[in-house]
């Protein structure tokens, strides 16, 4: 079978070398005689020709008797299968990403903690972020954190940790109010048998939020 279209055979043989290589690799249908993926086939032929010449020069003859064209066809098949597997793997990843980023409202009295971690491949620096929403899709709290050098798995785990930490603190306003209200000159411990007046409003908010936090729906 003639690999090159006979009407362009002379041009194929006489073209300047750089333009010849560029044309065959970038315009797969220009010279080929109805050969699928001619750019891959052309590269495989060059590779096998180079390997064959090296085997002669360095006295390391190739053991099998397969010709350059047949060897190139086999290499093209392997490359095609590898490309198909990569495309299928990428489709699965994309489906997973789409499924993972679609937010659905939780049941009543539940909240969701949506977190994510990211890592820059170039400098290996990682960060995480997240948002806490209730079933009415109302913003409760959000966060972002620079982590530093770490793996993507650790970045995801940091997101989980900070997300849960924020969820708990969202429903812990009373403790926070009491802690910040301590006067620096008071050394002894004060025990409150009844809530202070300035804590009552926070307590009412806490009582509703704490019920939500204890039923965190982590997604």
pLDDT for 205 equals 58
- Which two tokens mark 94? 């994309």
Q: With pLDDT > 90 as the criterion, what percentage of the chain qualifies?
A: 0
pLDDT number for residue 64: 64
Taking a C-beta distance cutoff of 8 angstroms, is the pair 138, 122 a contact? no
Low-confidence ranges of the chain (pLDDT < 70): 1-2, 34-35, 57, 60-64, 93-103, 170-219
Domain boundaries, the chain: 6-101, 111-218
- Taking only the tens place, the pLDDT of each residue in 1-17 is 567 778 888 888 888 98
Torsion sign, CA atoms 181, 185, 189, 193: negative
The per-residue pLDDT for 181 is: 57
Output the pLDDT for position 40: 83
Integer Cα distance of 101 and 26 in angstroms: 37
pLDDT at 204: 61
Buried b (16+ CB within 10 A) or exposed e, 51-90: eeeeeeeeeeeeeeeeebeebbbebbeeeeeeeeeeeeee
Question: Can you give the pLDDT at residue 26?
Answer: 83
What would the pLDDT profile of 66-96 be if each residue is shown by its tens digit?
787 788 888 888 888 887 788 777 777 665 5
Report the pLDDT value the prediction gives residue 177, as an integer from 0 to 100.
55
């Amino acid at each position: 079978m003639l690999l090159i279209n006979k009407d362009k055979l002379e041009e194929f043989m006489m073209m300047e070398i750089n333009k010849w290589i560029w044309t065959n690799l970038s315009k797969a249908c220009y010279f080929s005689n109805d050969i699928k993926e001619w750019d891959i086939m052309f590269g495989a032929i060059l590779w096998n020709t180079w390997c064959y010449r090296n085997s002669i020069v360095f006295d390391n003859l190739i053991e099998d008797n397969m010709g350059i064209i047949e060897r190139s066809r086999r290499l093209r098949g392997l490359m095609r299968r590898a490309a198909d597997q990569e495309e299928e793997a990428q489709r699965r990843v994309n489906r997973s990403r789409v499924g993972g980023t679609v937010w659905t409202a939780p049941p009543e009295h539940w909240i969701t903690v949506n977190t994510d971690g990211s890592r820059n491949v170039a400098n290996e620096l990682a960060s995480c972020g997240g948002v806490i929403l209730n079933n009415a899709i109302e913003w409760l709290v959000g966060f972002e954190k620079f982590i530093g050098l770490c793996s993507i798995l650790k970045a995801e785990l940091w997101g989980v940790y900070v997300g849960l930490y924020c969820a708990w603190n969202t429903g812990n306003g009373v403790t926070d109010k009491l802690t910040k209200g301590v006067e620096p000159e008071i050394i002894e411990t004060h025990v409150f048998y009844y809530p202070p007046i300035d804590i009552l409003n926070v307590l009412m908010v806490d009582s509703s939020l704490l019920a939500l936090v204890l039923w965190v729906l982590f997604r």
